[in-house]
Amino acid sequence: MQARLRDVAERAGVSVKTVSNVVNGYPHVSPGMRERVQQVLDEMGYRPNANARMLRAGRTGVIALALPELANPYFSELAGFVVQVAEERGWTVLVDQTDGLRERELLVAGGVRHHLIDGLILSPVALGSDDLTHRSADDIPLVLIGEKLDAGPADHVAIDNVAAARAATEHLLGLGRTRVAALGHQPGSASESGVAALRLHGWEEALRAAGMHVDEHLVSAVPTFRREDGKAAMAALLESGARPDAVLCFNDTLAIGALRELHDRGLRVPADVAVIGIDDVADGRFSVPTLSTIAPDKASIARTAVRMLAERLEPGGRDLAPREVVASFELVPRESTLA
C-alpha cells in the first residue's frame, strides 16, 4: 500500500500536519524535525495523493485541450505547443478529440469531468455561437482557438482568417494568375463564421479588390479537411472544366492532397497550377514541390490561449469581459508558387 501522510506521521512519531509541512516546505519547521521527517518520507517512499490535494485546493492543475482531430498535423503541432506552454505553468494537459462533432464539442464545453479540469481550450468546428450562450459562471473558463464564433461569451484567439485567405489569394494574383480557385468550401457545415466560410470570404475579397469576377465554378467543396478530400476536390475541380491556374487550399492538408492529384494528372506545379495552403504544417516544407502557405504563429496562439486561461483562473478573472486576440500570420512562399 502506498504510504500516506498518516503512515509517515505514525512512524516518525509526529503529527500528520507536521509531515505535511515538511512535504510542502512550510517555513516554520525546525531543522532537526525537518531532517527526521524527511528521512522517514524517503524511507517509506511517500508520494502525495494529487487527488486529495485537488479536492482540498479546489484546483487541479489540469486543463483540457479539445481538438477535432489529432491526426491532422496542424492540430498535433498546436497540441505540442500547448502541452509545452502549459508545462511551464506547471499544468498538465488532457487532450480530447471531438472529431468535429457538435455533440462532442458540447459535451466538453459543458464540462464532462467537472472539477477535474480547471479550464478548457477548445477548437470548435461544429459549434454555433448559440451553443455557448447559456454557459454559466459555474462552468470552467473556456478559451476558443481557431474559429470565430461571433459574440460568443468566451475568450478567443485566432488569426484573422479573412485576411489570411486574402493575403494568400493576393499572392497568387501577384503571380499573374487569373483563374484562382478556392478549395475547401464547406457549404452546409456550421454557421457563416466557420473557418471555411471566412477563408472563402477572404478569397472573394481579394478577387473583388483586384477587379476580378468571382466565378463560383472555381469553388470546390470538401466534407472535411483531410488529404484525401483535398485530392478529390482537386479532381472535381479539374474535371468540371473550370481550368484554374492557381488554387487557394483552405489548409495545408487539403493542399497536399491537391498537389498529389495535380501530379497524378501530369500538371506541373507551379507552372500550370500554383498552389498555396494555410497552416504551415511541417509536411509542406518537405513535399514535392514544397508548399507555399500562410503560417499562423502557432506558438503564440498556444501561449496566448494558455495565458488567457490563466488570467481567468486568477481571482476575479471570471468577471473579465470576453476577449478577442488576433494572432499574427505570415506568408511563406515556397516552390508551389514560385514566380
Partner DNA sequence: CGCGCAGTTTCCAACGTTGTAAATGCCCCC
Partner DNA sequence: GGGGGCATTTACAACGTTGGAAACTGCGCG
Q: Which does 33 bind (CB under 5 to 8 A by kind): DNA, a second copy, none?
A: DNA
Shorter beta-carbon distance to a second copy: residue 117 or 159: 117
The least distance separating DNA from the CB of residue 24, rounded to whole angstroms, comes to 5
Residues that bind a second copy in the complex, under the rule CB under 8 A: 1-3, 45, 47-52, 54-55, 60, 62, 69-71, 73, 76-77, 79-80, 83-84, 92-97, 111, 113-116, 136, 138, 227, 231, 256-257, 259-260, 263, 282-283, 285-288, 290
Shorter beta-carbon distance to a second copy: residue 51 or 178: 51
The least distance separating a second copy from the CB of residue 94, rounded to whole angstroms, comes to 5
Residue at grid coordinates 455561437: 129
Q: Which does 83 bind (CB under 5 to 8 A by kind): DNA, a second copy, none?
A: a second copy
Shorter beta-carbon distance to a second copy: residue 151 or 282: 282
Query: Which among 334, 327, 230, 232 is positioned nearest to 282, based on CA atoms?
Result: 334
Q: Which does 93 bind (CB under 5 to 8 A by kind): a second copy, DNA, none?
A: a second copy
Beta strands in 19-88 (DSSP E): 62-67
The least distance separating DNA from the CB of residue 50, rounded to whole angstroms, comes to 8
Shorter beta-carbon distance to DNA: residue 16 or 95: 16
The least distance separating a second copy from the CB of residue 100, rounded to whole angstroms, comes to 13
Q: Which does 163 bind (CB under 5 to 8 A by kind): DNA, a second copy, none?
A: none
Shorter beta-carbon distance to a second copy: residue 138 or 314: 138
Round the CA-based radius of gyration of the chain to a whole number and report it. Answer: 25
Three-class HEC string of 248-290: EECCHHHHHHHHHHHHHCCCCCCCCCEEEEECCCHHHHCCCCC
Q: Cβ distance 122 to 109 under 8 Å? A: yes
Residue 118: CB partners within 8 Å, gap ≥ 6?
59, 60, 61, 62, 63, 91, 140, 141, 309, 313
Q: Cβ distance 28 to 59 under 8 Å? A: no
Q: Which does 208 bind (CB under 5 to 8 A by kind): DNA, a second copy, none?
A: none
For residue 322, give Cα distances in angstroms to 149, 176, 212, 308.
12, 42, 38, 10
Residues that bind DNA in the complex, under the rule CB under 7 A: 2, 4-6, 14-18, 20-21, 23-24, 26-30, 32-34, 46, 48-49, 52-53, 55-58
Exposure string of 18-53, with b = 16+ CB inside 10 Å and e = fewer, is: bbebbbeeeeebeeeeeebbbebbeeeebeeeeeee
The least distance separating a second copy from the CB of residue 149, rounded to whole angstroms, comes to 22
